[in-house]
């Protein structure tokens, strides 16, 4: 029996190693899992919000297009009452409407009896004089006000949306209306507005009306279809705008943002695959593993050495207990207690180190791209943004700026005041930028602004506005400072976007050597 009990005893050295290894593994796995979950949710939230903002922007553009189209028709409606009984000027007005813009596939005039008086283009004029009984025509005759019709299928099997303006005589009698049509299954301005915004990551845009009919889709065969099983489309018009994670018709999980066009009730949905959104998390986890595994190996070696060190005084303590009557036992026990205390502190220090590692991993994504002094992006953020713009072939303007005679500020007031000036300039940059612009501090007193989709003229206006704001804003205790700015543009294509930064740097150099406190635009 004593031998059996003895056989169940575990070596203290092995127990310490097993417990320490288990603790390290659990902490590492918890750290990996927490890092993955946090980064995953950040990517999902960012993608959902980006899609919502993008859908809202397209809805605003579509609304502006519809309002402009109605204004064009309103101009014609004011000119037609005097000429409505003469076919020639009425036909000429439809030709002018069709030729002045690409808004419509056809333009036409219908009198108050529903009879077609004129239509352009010329191949459609064979139906002039016929009574129109399409849903769009009947709706316009009924409401007698500016409107955009619900989509309907014409006699020629075209899916059509009609914009119309009523025609009234000087005494207020309703004479008919002038209208323009969009053929949704053919090339039209709506397709140009939405179809050119395409990304190589599975993202796409689609548009549905209030009846859940597909008005635009990258797959032309789906235009005109009535969608019945999509939960997002079912709730789209009651919610107006927002975000939702959905599964599309092919069973692919998508991250969708949506918005509604006010004048038509159309819903615009921008969505991208969940798998593409989460692709960067794999790289992050690999980076975390590469960072933590060497530290874990070093910790394992340290633990092995500590186990050897700890067991030796503990065995001495057991030996002292067996020799309780020896005069040196008290001294030996005091020594063992000291070693045990130190071992406990080392273990606590190890756990504290692992906790610090976990917290640092949690801040890895944010700290890697943020300048700690100003809160603006750093060079990593700049390089990441440039790679995205280049991948999307999205043109941008670069504004490079720095503070004139900044060395004087540091020499006269000290570096703490210099840091205060840098933070104040960063705040002024935020007030002068547009939504979607990227602001970075590239070093010292040097800053950079990226303006996606901006022309040189717009960028120059932004740069000049910032220059004036900085010039007119005192920064205590320094007073007013000035900045010099260089502006350049990257138009896309095969050129390296870094060339635009080089051109902006050269423009900044010219601004400095031309007297400072000025904006220099590079035409290269």
Q: How confident is the model at residue 360 (pLDDT cuts 50, 70, 90)?
A: low
Q: Is the pLDDT of residue 331 over 70?
A: no
Structure-model confidence comparison of residues 333 and 488, the more confident one: 488
pTM exceeds 0.75, yes or no: no
**How far is Cα 496 from Cα 382, in angstroms, rounded to an integer?**
14
* Phi, psi (deg, nearest 5) at residue 8: -80, -10
User: Bridge-partner residues for 176, per DSSP?
Assistant: 111, 167
Q: Is the pLDDT of residue 424 over 90?
A: yes
pLDDT of amino acid 458:
93
**Does a cis peptide bond (omega within 30 degrees of 0) precede residue 477?**
yes
Q: Is the pLDDT of residue 166 over 80?
A: yes
pLDDT tens profile 81-126: 877 778 888 888 889 888 887 778 889 999 989 898 898 988 888 8
141-147 mean pLDDT: 90
**How far is Cα 62 from Cα 260, in angstroms, rounded to an integer?**
10
**Active-site residues: which are they?**
445
- Domains, the chain, in order of start with CATH, read 9-45+279-366 (no CATH), 50-58+188-275 (3.30.450.20), 66-177 (3.30.450.20), 379-521 (3.30.70.270)
pLDDT of amino acid 486:
95
pLDDT of amino acid 270:
87
pLDDT of amino acid 493:
78
304-314 mean pLDDT: 66
Q: At what angle do helices 279-322 and 12-79 cross, to 10 degrees?
A: 160
Greatest mean pLDDT among 148-162, 184-198, 471-485: 471-485
pLDDT of amino acid 136:
81
217-237 mean pLDDT: 78
pLDDT tens profile 27-36: 777 777 777 7
Q: Is the pLDDT of residue 421 over 60?
A: yes
pLDDT of amino acid 202:
72
**How far is Cα 23 from Cα 15, in angstroms, rounded to an integer?**
12
């Amino acid at each position: 029996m004593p031998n059996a009990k003895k056989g169940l005893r575990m070596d203290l050295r092995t127990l310490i190693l097993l417990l320490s290894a288990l603790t390290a593994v659990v902490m590492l796995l918890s750290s990996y899992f927490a890092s993955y979950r946090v980064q995953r949710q950040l990517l999902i939230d960012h993608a959902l919000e980006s899609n919502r903002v993008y859908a809202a922007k397209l809805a605003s553009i579509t609304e502006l297009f519809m309002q402009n189209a109605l204004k064009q028709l309103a101009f014609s409606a004011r000119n037609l009452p005097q000429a409505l009984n003469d076919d020639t000027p009425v036909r000429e007005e439809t030709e002018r409407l069709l030729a002045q813009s690409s808004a419509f596939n056809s333009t036409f005039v219908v009198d108050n009896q529903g009879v077609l008086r004129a239509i352009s283009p010329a191949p459609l004029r064979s139906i002039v004089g016929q009574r129109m009984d399409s849903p769009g025509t009947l709706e316009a005759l009924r409401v007698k006000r500016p409107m955009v019709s619900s989509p309907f299928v014409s006699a020629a099997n075209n899916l059509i949306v009609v914009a119309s303006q009523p025609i009234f005589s000087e005494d207020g009698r309703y004479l008919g209306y002038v209208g323009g049509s969009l053929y949704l299954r053919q090339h039209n301005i709506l397709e140009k507005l939405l179809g050119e915004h395409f990304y190589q990551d599975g993202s796409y845009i689609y548009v549905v009306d209030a009846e859940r009919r597909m008005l635009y889709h990258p797959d032309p065969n789906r235009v005109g279809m009535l969608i019945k099983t999509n939960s997002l489309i079912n709730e789209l018009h009651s919610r107006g705008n927002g975000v939702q994670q959905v599964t599309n018709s092919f069973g692919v999980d998508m991250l969708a943002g949506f918005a509604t066009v006010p004048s038509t009730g159309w819903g615009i949905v921008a969505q991208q695959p969940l798998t593409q959104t989460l692709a960067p998390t794999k790289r992050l986890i690999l980076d975390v593993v590469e960072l933590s595994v060497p530290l874990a190996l070093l910790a394992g070696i340290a633990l092995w050495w500590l186990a050897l060190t700890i067991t030796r005084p503990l065995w001495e303590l057991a030996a002292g207990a067996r020799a309780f009557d020896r005069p040196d036992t008290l001294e030996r026990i005091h020594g063992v207690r000291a070693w045990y205390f130190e071992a406990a502190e080392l273990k606590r220090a190890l756990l504290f180190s692992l906790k610090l590692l976990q917290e640092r991993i949690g801040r890895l994504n944010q700290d890697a791209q943020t300048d700690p002094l100003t809160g603006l992006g750093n060079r990593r953020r700049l390089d990441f943004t440039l790679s995205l713009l280049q991948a999307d072939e999205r043109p941008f303007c670069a504004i490079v700026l720095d503070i004139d005679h900044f060395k004087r500020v540091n020499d006269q007031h000290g570096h703490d005041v210099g840091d205060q000036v840098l933070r104040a300039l960063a705040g002024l940059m935020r007030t002068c930028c547009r939504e979607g612009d990227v602001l970075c501090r590239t070093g010292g007193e040097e800053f950079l602004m990226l303006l996606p989709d901006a022309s040189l003229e717009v960028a120059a206006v932004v740069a000049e506005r910032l220059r004036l704001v900085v010039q007119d804003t005192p920064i205590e205790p320094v007073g007013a400072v000035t900045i010099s700015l260089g502006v350049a543009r990257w138009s896309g294509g095969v050129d390296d976007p870094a060339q635009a930064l080089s051109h902006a740097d050269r423009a900044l150099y010219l601004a400095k050597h031309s007297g400072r406190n000025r904006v220099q635009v590079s035409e290269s």
